[in-house]
């Protein structure tokens, strides 16, 4: 939505609100608004907690009167959480646990979030079509994403026993462990947040059972078909409104998805299976409409492409390129490489993995986030290994190729400045001065906590744990809601941007309230909140 790479936005996680680090950035819909368009969004376009109001003419719309898990599955989740509590599990883990990963929904399409927002978006499209202003309409679907909850008729399209399983359900040969992370972040981390897969094995240990594999793939297939039907409704409504010949349509996804490939599930790696996404662009009367192109492109290209197709100026700061030449000629090329990156906590340290895809190779460098040292490399030859099953980085015969790819990567990308602020270790932080330190407040569990009253600009705060046991850091919302953000290890730290007036509760893994901080405006870049012994 910015046309910028992660190292330029400095948003490498899900806790950094974009405007706190790029307050004046102009987003794709904002650019269209500045040139006379009405911009309206439905569902997840930016990350859910940060809808970025300045980008839109109306607050982001979210479907109402919809259901997700059934009442029976919600009851099962309550029972599962109770059993976790009886076993002494950390309260944060209990709150993060969700219902089943799949559900065959006994509901019509419009009772599902994606189905209802399709109808809402169609109604808005018809309203926008009657206005004199051109419009920019964005619809963000949840599926195909966990949990796979879709109406029964879409499950019925597939015979589960006939659904093929991944052909490469094993870790890539000679791949460094950092590529998947500790036991294993890139393999199943998200899946284990669902009650029926809480004990899913790491791909370092064993694959999922065959029935589980088929269930998840069946749910994914059903979800794709469900969303495909909703997109069909949107496009039919566009045609019925007589807008098909002056409207550009773009379909894209934010990431790929493992369904047993490399023994993993979900996302969170730099492999092709996680980073290759659908991208379909239909521009009226484009010569290459209906054709498939093998040219390398990136999602940062969407912004300049849409500006170009609409006849708007292309902002000079964008790092993507217009794909208009490919829309006129499917054999055209606009770039020779595509990039992705992903941060990784591994073996107690922080790393950033940078990946480059060329016509033939996927090349990955894992850099120490503090020193910038290259700690691991990966190279996969798509001419002979399109599934990326064997890492060739240590093959003597490819030494020159590896060196050439590394030089090529850093010729195309700006070299990052280290240390990367994706995390800060407690031991590396300077002592907190009086104008940087937040005050620690002891808390009597029998007394109520103060209310969060956010106000003012976001403040960067690093919480450091001086205790001999882990602690849970809990955000208290102004409406009384709570969210466990992090379990901080002994001598560990956690950095986040948060607003003055917000209350952060610290408690033991058993849920015992220890104390709290109230965020204050502090001089300088960094406030420090030290959790005492």
Give me the pLDDT at residue 423, please: 56
Instruction: Return d(Cα 64, Cα 72) in angstroms, integer.
Output: 21
**DSSP string computed for 82-119:** HHHHHTT--HHHHHH-BS-SEEEE-S-GGGSHHHHHHH
What lies within 8 Å, CB to CB, of 386 at 6+ separation is: none
Yes or no: say if 309 and 248 are a contact pair by the CB < 8 Å rule: yes
Q: Taking residues 132-148, what's their average pLDDT?
A: 96
Yes or no: say if 337 and 320 are a contact pair by the CB < 8 Å rule: no
At 492, list the tokens.
């560990």
Please write the tens of the pLDDT for every residue from 372-381: 999 999 999 9
Is the confidence at residue 498, as pLDDT, over 90?
no
Q: Taking residues 264-287, what's their average pLDDT?
A: 96
Question: What is the CB-side half-sphere exposure of residue 228 using CA atoms within 13 A?
Answer: 9
Instruction: Return d(Cα 526, Cα 497) in angstroms, integer.
Output: 10
Query: Is CATH 3.90.1300.10 what the domain over 426-531 is classified as, yes or no?
Result: no
- Cis preceding linkage at 419, omega within 30: yes
Secondary structure of residue 254 in the 3-state scheme: coil
Yes or no: say if 472 and 486 are a contact pair by the CB < 8 Å rule: yes
What's the pLDDT band for 461 if we cut at 50, 70, 90? confident
Give me the pLDDT at residue 428, please: 38
Which of 56, 15, 9 has its CA nearest to residue 37?
A: 56
Please write the tens of the pLDDT for every residue from 40-54: 999 999 887 778 889
Instruction: Return d(Cα 472, Cα 484) in angstroms, integer.
Output: 7
Q: Write the Ramachandran bin of 239: left for phi over 0, alpha for psi from -120 to 50, otherwise beta.
A: alpha
Instruction: Return d(Cα 468, Cα 465) in angstroms, integer.
Output: 8
Give me the pLDDT at residue 494, please: 81
Rg (CA), the chain: 24
Instruction: Return d(Cα 267, Cα 275) in angstroms, integer.
Output: 8
Distances from the Cα of 380 to the Cαs of 187, 347, 376, in angstroms? 19, 24, 14
Q: 338-412 belongs to which CATH class?
A: alpha beta
Out of 63-77, 179-193, 251-265, 383-397, which region has the weakest mean confidence (pLDDT)? 179-193
Give the burial class of 263: count Cβ atoms within 10 A of its Cβ; 0-12 exposed, 13-18 middle, 19 or more buried: buried
Please write the tens of the pLDDT for every residue from 56-98: 999 999 999 999 999 999 999 999 999 999 998 888 788 889 9
Helices 113-129 and 210-240 pack at an angle, to 10 degrees, of 20
Yes or no: say if 343 and 422 are a contact pair by the CB < 8 Å rule: yes
Yes or no: say if 362 and 355 are a contact pair by the CB < 8 Å rule: yes
- Spell out the domain ranges in the chain: 338-412, 426-531
E-strand spans in 253-384?
258-259, 265-266, 279-282, 338-346, 349-357, 361-368, 374-381
At 234, list the tokens.
């949107």
Give the burial class of 280: count Cβ atoms within 10 A of its Cβ; 0-12 exposed, 13-18 middle, 19 or more buried: exposed
Yes or no: say if 472 and 509 are a contact pair by the CB < 8 Å rule: yes
Yes or no: say if 197 and 260 are a contact pair by the CB < 8 Å rule: no
Q: What is the 3-state secondary structure (H, E, C) of 405-443?
A: HHHHHHHHCCCCCCCCCCCCCHHHCCCCCCCCECCCEEC
Give me the pLDDT at residue 321, please: 98
Is the confidence at residue 525, as pLDDT, over 70?
no
Phi then psi dihedrals of residue 122, to 5 deg:
-65, -45
- Cis preceding linkage at 476, omega within 30: no
Give me the pLDDT at residue 431, please: 43
E-strand spans in 10-87?
38-43
**What DSSP element (H or E) covers 333?**
none
Q: Taking residues 255-260, what's their average pLDDT?
A: 95
Which of 331, 310, 341, 336 has its CA nearest to residue 321?
A: 336
At 456, list the tokens.
């003012």
**What DSSP element (H or E) covers 528?**
strand 527-531
Instruction: Return d(Cα 33, Cα 16) in angstroms, integer.
Output: 25
Yes or no: say if 196 and 216 are a contact pair by the CB < 8 Å rule: no
Please write the tens of the pLDDT for every residue from 312-323: 999 999 999 999
CB atoms within 10 A of CB 444: 8
What's the pLDDT band for 388 if we cut at 50, 70, 90? very high
Instruction: Return d(Cα 336, Cα 338) in angstroms, integer.
Output: 7
Give me the pLDDT at residue 435, please: 53
Instruction: Return d(Cα 222, Cα 66) in angstroms, integer.
Output: 19
Indicate the average pLDDT of the chain: 92
């Amino acid at each position: 939505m910015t046309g910028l790479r992660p190292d330029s936005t400095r948003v490498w996680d899900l806790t950094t609100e974009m405007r706190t680090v790029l307050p004046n950035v102009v987003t794709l819909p904002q650019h269209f608004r500045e040139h006379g368009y009405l911009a309206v969004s439905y569902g997840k376009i930016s990350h859910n907690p940060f809808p970025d109001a300045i980008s839109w003419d109306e607050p982001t719309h979210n479907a109402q009167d919809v259901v997700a898990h059934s009442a029976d599955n919600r009851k099962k989740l309550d029972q599962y959480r109770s059993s976790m509590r009886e076993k002494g599990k950390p309260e944060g883990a209990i709150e993060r646990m969700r219902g089943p990963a799949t559900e065959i929904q006994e509901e019509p399409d419009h009772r599902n979030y994606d189905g209802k927002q399709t109808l809402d978006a169609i109604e808005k499209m018809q309203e926008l079509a009657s206005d004199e202003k051109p419009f920019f309409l964005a619809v963000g679907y949840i599926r195909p994403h966990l949990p796979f909850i879709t109406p029964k008729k879409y499950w019925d399209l597939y015979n589960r026993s006939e659904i093929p399983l991944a052909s490469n359900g094993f870790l890539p040969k000679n791949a460094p462990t950092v590529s998947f992370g500790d036991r294993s972040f890139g393999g199943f981390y998200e899946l284990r947040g669902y009650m029926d897969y809480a004990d899913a094995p790491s791909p370092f240990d064993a694959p999922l059972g065959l029935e589980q594999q088929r269930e998840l793939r069946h749910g994914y297939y059903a979800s794709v078909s469900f969303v495909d039907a909703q997109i069909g409704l949107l496009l039919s409504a566009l045609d019925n409104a007589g807008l098909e010949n002056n409207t550009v349509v773009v379909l894209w996804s934010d990431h790929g998805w493992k369904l047993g490939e490399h023994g993993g599930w979900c996302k969170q790696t730099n492999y092709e299976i996680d980073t290759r996404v659908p991208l379909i662009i239909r521009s009226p009367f484009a010569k290459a409409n209906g054709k498939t192109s093998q040219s390398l492109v990136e999602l940062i290209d969407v912004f300049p492409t849409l500006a170009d197709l609409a006849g708007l100026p292309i902002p000079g700061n964008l790092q993507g390129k217009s794909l208009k030449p490919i829309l006129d000629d499917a054999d055209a090329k606009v770039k020779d490489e595509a990039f992705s990156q992903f941060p990784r906590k591994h073996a107690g340290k922080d790393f950033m993995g940078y990946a480059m895809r060329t016509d033939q190779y996927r090349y990955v460098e894992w850099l120490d986030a503090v020193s910038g040292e290259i700690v691991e490399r990966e190279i996969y030859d798509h001419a002979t290994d399109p599934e990326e099953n064997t890492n060739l980085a240590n093959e003597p015969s490819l030494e020159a190729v590896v060196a050439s790819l590394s030089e090529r990567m850093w010729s195309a990308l700006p070299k990052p400045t280290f240390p990367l602020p994706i995390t800060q270790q407690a031991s590396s932080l300077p002592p907190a001065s009086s104008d940087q330190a937040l005050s620690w407040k002891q808390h009597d569990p029998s007394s109520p906590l103060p209310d969060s009253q956010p106000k003012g600009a976001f403040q960067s705060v690093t919480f450091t744990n001086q205790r001999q046991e882990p602690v849970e850091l809990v955000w208290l919302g102004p409406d009384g809601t709570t969210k466990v953000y992090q379990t901080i290890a002994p001598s560990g730290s956690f950095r986040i941007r948060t607003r003055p007036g917000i209350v952060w509760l610290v408690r033991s893994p058993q849920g015992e309230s220890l104390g709290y901080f109230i965020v204050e405006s502090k001089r300088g870049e960094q406030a420090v909140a030290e959790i005492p012994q």
